[in-house]
């Protein structure tokens, strides 16, 4: 049953993510990770939700966890580079 619940939480979270309801998506993906903390896809989607919500450091942490669990998760690597660029851009703006 837990695997089925995990899948439902991922699907509901993805729906919230598509509708830009980031806080709700974060909640669902976090619940899913309580059931299965070893699933890279859940960390990736949680990263997308954090990124959409403007929480770049949290997003970066989730993408990095995705890569730790699955080194071949190319989309996470792409997002890591994008978020790092955003964070570095903010540092440049802050210094001006």
pTM of the model: 0.90
Tell me the per-residue pLDDT of 27-40, one tens digit each, with 9 for 90 and over: 999 999 999 999 99
Q: Is 59 exposed, middle or buried (0-12, 13-18, 19+ CB in 10 A)?
A: buried
In the chain, DSSP finds a helix count (H) and a strand count (E) of 5, 0
Please state, in angstroms and as integers, the Cα–Cα distance from residue 48 to each residue in 19, 31, 92, 93, 96, following that order: 13, 16, 23, 23, 29
Domains and CATH numbers, the chain: 2-95 (1.25.40.10)
- pLDDT of 96 > 60? The answer is no
Q: What is the pLDDT of residue 19?
A: 98
């Amino acid at each position: 049953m837990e695997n089925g619940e995990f899948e439902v939480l991922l699907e509901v979270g993805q729906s919230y993510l598509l509708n830009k309801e980031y806080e709700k998506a974060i909640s669902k993906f976090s619940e899913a990770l309580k059931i299965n903390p070893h699933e890279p896809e859940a960390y990736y989607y949680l990263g997308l939700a954090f990124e959409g919500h403007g929480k770049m450091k949290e997003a970066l942490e989730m993408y990095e966890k995705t890569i730790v669990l699955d080194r071949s998760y190319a989309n996470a690597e792409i997002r890591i580079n994008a978020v790092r660029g955003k964070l570095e851009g903010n540092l440049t703006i802050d210094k001006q």
